[in-house]
Amino acid sequence: MHVLSIPAGPVISTNGDPNWTQFDFFSRPRPAGSGGRLVDMDDVWDGLILWVDPTIRIFAVWSDEALSTDTQQHILNDLVRPKLLAFDGQLVLHGGLSGTATGAIGFIGGSGQGKSTLTASLHETGLSLISDDAFVVQAGTAAPRAHRLYPSLRLFPDSLSRLFPAAPVTSAVAENTDKRRVPFEVGPPEAPLLALFVLADPADTIRAERLTPAEACMEIIANSFSFDRNDPAEARGRLARAADLARLLPVFDLHYPRDYAALSDVHACIFETLGLAPPDKASA
């Protein structure tokens, strides 16, 4: 077994609670009297196991095989951090955030649906890029706010060459993907959340369709992170948070062809749907 390490330090918490910190099983014994909880993470990475002790807020991750430093950081930032925040009772969505002058637009959807390409292309129009992979939403009775987990932009080579023809210096994401990490001018860490767009399956026509609160709730749940999907109490809490957000926030299905030439029309559809003026790139 191989323990994954975090050179950058403790895992962030966005709600003001003490940070989760990593515990090295191989260098010191498990704390006396600590049972903790073990979760098999085969659904996101083969041979990966996560253990947490919520009483003293420590965790450990280990893998069946040795993994590169880039892969370890990907697992910890993109897979483990969201799970720990979900364990804390927060609503963590799998999606990207683009920033406008009045707030953030969230784009959610499964892996490979084009979240990173769309957020990167909007960044090129003059919107800020907050993150491309995961964010926390805080709703309650007030207007929803979105908080990124960490700044991230990861693109496949074809998107990289089309959106960044100047070929920026990139780095590897992980051993199991051709995606590259792309440097960018980072937007604000949090912002009011204006709307969510669900990236629907590719379509020939470009359109945004407003979802009912019930439909929106189901999409939010489907695109949220959980610590343990088999835990009924956690599922109830996630449903309640998703329902609260769906009542407060407009959520749209976004249909469009996955064609780089169509992106400017997709941008126009997004801005028109939200009643926003297109950004002035020269002044951004």
Is the per-residue pLDDT at 248 higher than 50?
A: yes
Q: What share of the chain is helix, strand, coil (3-state, %, to 5)?
A: 30, 25, 45
Q: What is the pLDDT of residue 25?
A: 55
Q: Answer yes or no: do 142 and 276 share one domain.
A: yes
Phi, psi of 209 (to 5 degrees): -120, 125
Q: Answer yes or no: do 70 and 96 share one domain.
A: no
**Structure token digits, residue 73:** 């950081």
Q: What is the pLDDT of residue 28?
A: 57
Domain boundary pick from 27, 52, 87: 87
pTM for this one?
A: 0.89
Q: Answer yes or no: do 81 and 99 share one domain.
A: no
The fraction of the chain above a pLDDT of 70, given in percent, is 87
- 191 Cα distance to chain centroid: 15
Q: Answer yes or no: do 145 and 182 share one domain.
A: yes
Greater model confidence, 33 or 222? 222
Q: Answer yes or no: do 214 and 243 share one domain.
A: yes
Judge contact between 22 and 72, C-beta under 8 A: no
Residue that the structure tokens 């297109």 belong to: 278
Task: Identify the burial level of 175 via C-beta atoms within 10 angstroms of its C-beta, where 0-12 means exposed, 13-18 middle and 19 or more buried.
Answer: exposed
Domain interval for residue 75? 2-87
Furthest CA-CA distance within the chain:
60
Task: Report the CATH number at residue 233.
Answer: 3.40.50.300
* pLDDT tens track for 168-223: 899 999 988 999 999 988 999 999 999 999 999 999 999 999 999 999 999 999 99
Give the integer Cα–Cα distance in Å for 22 and 19: 10
* pLDDT tens track for 209-233: 999 999 999 999 999 999 988 899 9
Confidence of residue 37 (pLDDT cuts 50, 70, 90): confident
Give the integer Cα–Cα distance in Å for 222 and 231: 16
Number of domains in the chain: 2
Confidence of residue 268 (pLDDT cuts 50, 70, 90): very high
Domain boundary pick from 27, 54, 87: 87
| Nearest by Cα to 215 from 188, 179, 247 | 247
